[in-house]
Amino acid sequence: MIHVIINPISGAGTDAGAASRRAMMVEAAARQRGAKVTINFTERQGHASELSRAAIAAGAESVIVWGGDGTFNETASALLGTSIPVGLVPAGSGNGLAGALGVPREPLAALNVAFDTAAHPIDAGRLAGRCFFNIAGIGFDARVATLFNQRGAGARGGWPYFVIGVRQGCTYRALDYDLRLDDDPRRHKALLIAFANGREYGLGARIAPDARLDDGLLDVIIVEERGVLARFWHARHLARGTPQLAPLVTTRRIQRAVVEAPGEMEFHVDGEPGLASNRIDVEIIPGALLIRS
The CATH number of the domain holding residue 191 is 2.60.200.40
Does residue 82 lie within any of the structural domains? yes
Q: How many domains does the chain have?
A: 2
Does residue 292 lie within any of the structural domains? no
Q: Cβ distance 261 to 178 under 8 Å?
A: yes
Does residue 154 lie within any of the structural domains? yes
Does residue 211 lie within any of the structural domains? yes
Say if residue 112 is in the same domain as residue 145: no
Say if residue 151 is in the same domain as residue 107: no
pLDDT for residue 41 is more than 90 = yes
Q: Which domain holds residue 86?
A: 2-117
CA gyration radius, the chain:
19
- Average pLDDT score over the chain: 91
- Out of 29-38, 99-108, 120-129, which region has the weakest mean confidence (pLDDT)? 99-108
pLDDT in tens, 273-290: 999 999 999 999 999 999
Predicted pLDDT at 244: 83
**pLDDT confidence band for 14 (50 / 70 / 90):** low
Does residue 290 lie within any of the structural domains? no
Say if residue 80 is in the same domain as residue 170: no
Say if residue 110 is in the same domain as residue 139: no
The CATH number of the domain holding residue 59 is 3.40.50.10330
Say if residue 85 is in the same domain as residue 147: no
- Out of 105-114, 153-162, 212-221, 264-273, which region has the weakest mean confidence (pLDDT)? 153-162
pLDDT in tens, 64-91: 999 988 899 999 999 998 999 999 999 9
Say if residue 270 is in the same domain as residue 183: yes
pLDDT for residue 39 is more than 90 = yes
Does residue 293 lie within any of the structural domains? no
Does residue 122 lie within any of the structural domains? no
Does residue 184 lie within any of the structural domains? yes
The DSSP secondary structure of 22-53, one letter per residue, reads: HHHHHHHHHHHHT--EEEEE--STTHHHHHHH
List, in sequence order, every residue forming a beta bridge with 219; answer none if it has no partner. 196, 253
Last residue of a domain, one of 117, 139, 157: 117
Say if residue 107 is in the same domain as residue 186: no
Say if residue 229 is in the same domain as residue 146: yes
62-67 vs 218-224, strand pairing mode: unpaired
Say if residue 189 is in the same domain as residue 109: no
Higher-scoring residue by pLDDT: 227, 156: 227
Say if residue 50 is in the same domain as residue 155: no
Say if residue 23 is in the same domain as residue 96: yes
- Residue 115 vs residues 65, 94, 156, 208, 275: alpha-carbon distances, Å: 11, 23, 28, 29, 37
